[in-house]
């Protein structure tokens, strides 16, 4: 990490987040423990999301201990299932270029991640494993460079003199305006694989490479589906990792009431790390995936999240409901793609307008989507692999 990049980001955090005498300005928020993992292509057949999950014993049999493999090539470390999908596709694209790729996976994440990793070599990161025993790797890639599991390998890569990469996992509070802590995301990695121009402007550092987002590309390619709508409005509940958890229940109650006042059906979709709902809200909860619900629902009610980008891709309007005063800029400015609503009284009318806009919504919202997610006809995984390969080639020729 360049010292000037670090200083610039730290100064921006202090200016926008710290109160008198350096205290964290939290206002009505509550913040808990530091987050260690992420928020929610064309690849060789079968694609990662269709690979069946093998039995538990077979999964762990395919893993080696640190040090058993002397050469790891490009080492990738997914920390959540959607990381596995994204990085699994990148590993496949690297192999298409003749580059060895392997995975380092935490023991408690194996069963949800493994099916996305194809036939690439795997190393098990069991509790207390010796990271210094890892075989030689030519580069390191993850999607979260501030959490403890991956950050340790970023440091190891720097010690060993090999390049490191971080692929932006979705919409981010880059300056920690609302997180209540100083993460300084995407500063540990040497190179950052960003989604689009807005990430470039927010990060304001060297070695940024625009590669898009594979999951969003797939949603855009699928697009709106034929058929009638089902009268449901999905509420995206992602109050996770101690951030704003104290306002979640009031937020959901207000959203449910507003949706019912329109004669529509509220459906609560929870992030995997969102805590258990009280009984009166749990009755609205669903286990259906967003990609299953988005094409047919009427609209989405959401706080800061990557889900709005996926909604646009499917042609489903969203309302950014922010009664708790989030300050992160991604959805702060008015835009034809969405309304920014700050009170429960305004949510119902905003939803009505959003639903009325549905026939032309994707066309109207496309400029905003493309400012966030760059698409140029080449799959995101292939673009990421090209960047990694080019950096490795330059290092080899310079030596």
Question: Which residues face 233 on adjacent strands?
Answer: 266, 299
Pairing of strands 63-64, 122-125: parallel
Residues 6+ apart with CB under 8 A from 228: 296
Predicted local confidence at residue 133, as pLDDT: 95
**Residues with Cβ < 8 Å from 67, sequence gap 6 or more?**
130, 133, 134, 135
Residue 219 CB contacts under 8 Å (≥ 6 apart), including other chains: 291, 294, 310, 313, 314
Q: What is the pLDDT of residue 397?
A: 83
Dihedral sign (CA 383, 387, 392, 393): positive
Residue written as tokens 């959490």?
Answer: 147
Q: Please tell me the predicted confidence (pLDDT) of residue 290.
A: 85
Q: Where in the chain is the domain with CATH 3.40.50.11720?
A: 3-213+375-398
pTM of the model: 0.75
**What pLDDT score was predicted for residue 238?**
81
Which residue intervals of the chain bear CATH 3.40.50.2000? 224-372
> What was the pLDDT predicted at 16?
44
Query: How many angstroms separate the CA atoms of 92 and 99, rounded?
Result: 9
Lookup: tokens for 392: 């490795």
Q: Using DSSP, how many helices (H) and how many strands (E) does the chain show?
A: 14, 14
The pLDDT value recorded for residue 306 is 84
- CB contact burial 143-171 (16+ within 10 A = b; e otherwise): bbbbbebbbebbebbbeeebbbbbbbbbb
Q: CATH number for the 3-213+375-398 domain, one of 3.30.70.120, 3.40.50.300, 3.30.70.360, 3.40.50.11720?
A: 3.40.50.11720
Q: With contact defined as beta carbons under 8 Å apart, do 188 and 146 qualify?
A: yes
> What phi and psi, each to the nearest 5 degrees, are found at residue 345?
-65, -30
> Which portions of the chain are predicted below pLDDT 50?
13-45, 48-49
Collapse the DSSP code of 317 into the 3-class scheme (helix H, G, I; strand E, B; otherwise coil) and give the result: coil
Q: Regarding the domain with residue range 224-372, which homologous superfamily does it belong to in the CATH classification? A: Glycogen Phosphorylase B; (3.40.50.2000)
Q: How far is CA 277 from CA 232, 237, 254, 271, 362, in A?
A: 19, 10, 15, 12, 32
């Amino acid at each position: 990490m360049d010292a000037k990049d670090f200083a610039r980001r730290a100064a921006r955090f202090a200016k926008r987040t710290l109160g008198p005498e350096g205290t964290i300005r939290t206002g009505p928020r509550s913040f808990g423990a530091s987050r260690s993992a992420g928020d929610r292509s064309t690849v060789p057949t079968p694609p990662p999301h269709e690979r069946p999950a093998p039995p538990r014993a077979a999964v762990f049999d395919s893993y080696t201990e640190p040090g058993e493999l002397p050469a790891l090539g490009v080492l990738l470390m997914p920390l959540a299932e959607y990381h596995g999908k994204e990085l699994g596709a990148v590993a496949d694209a690297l192999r298409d270029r003749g580059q060895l790729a392997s995975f380092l996976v935490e023991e408690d994440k194996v069963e949800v991640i493994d099916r996305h990793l194809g036939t690439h070599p795997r190393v098990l990161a069991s509790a207390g494993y010796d990271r210094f025993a890892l075989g030689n790797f030519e580069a390191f890639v993850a999607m979260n460079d501030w959490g403890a599991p991956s950050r340790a390998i970023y440091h190891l890569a720097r010690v060993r003199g090999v390049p490191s990469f971080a692929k932006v996992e979705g919409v981010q509070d880059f300056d920690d305006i609302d997180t209540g802590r100083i993460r300084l995301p995407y500063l540990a990695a040497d190179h950052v694989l960003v989604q689009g121009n807005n990430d470039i402007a927010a990060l304001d550092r060297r070695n940024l490479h625009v590669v898009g987002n594979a999951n969003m590309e797939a949603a855009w390619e699928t697009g709106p589906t034929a058929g009638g709508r089902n009268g449901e409005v999905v509420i995206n509940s992602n109050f996770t990792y101690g951030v704003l958890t104290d306002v979640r229940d009031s937020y959901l109650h207000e959203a449910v009431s507003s949706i019912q006042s329109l004669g529509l059906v509220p459906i609560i979709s929870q992030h995997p790390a969102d805590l258990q709902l009280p009984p009166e809200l749990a009755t609205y909860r669903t286990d259906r995936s967003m990609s299953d619900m988005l094409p047919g629902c009427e609209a989405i009610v959401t706080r800061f999240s990557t889900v709005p980008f996926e909604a646009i891709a499917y042609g489903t309007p969203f309302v950014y409901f922010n009664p708790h005063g989030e300050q992160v800029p991604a959805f702060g400015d008015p835009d034809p793609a969405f309304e920014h609503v700050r009170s429960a009284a305004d949510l119902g009318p905003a939803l009505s307008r959003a639903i009325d806009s549905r026939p032309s919504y994707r066309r109207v919202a496309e400029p905003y989507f493309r400012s966030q997610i760059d698409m140029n006809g080449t799959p995101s995984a292939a673009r990421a692999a090209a960047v990694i390969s080019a950096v490795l080639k330059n290092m080899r020729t310079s030596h």
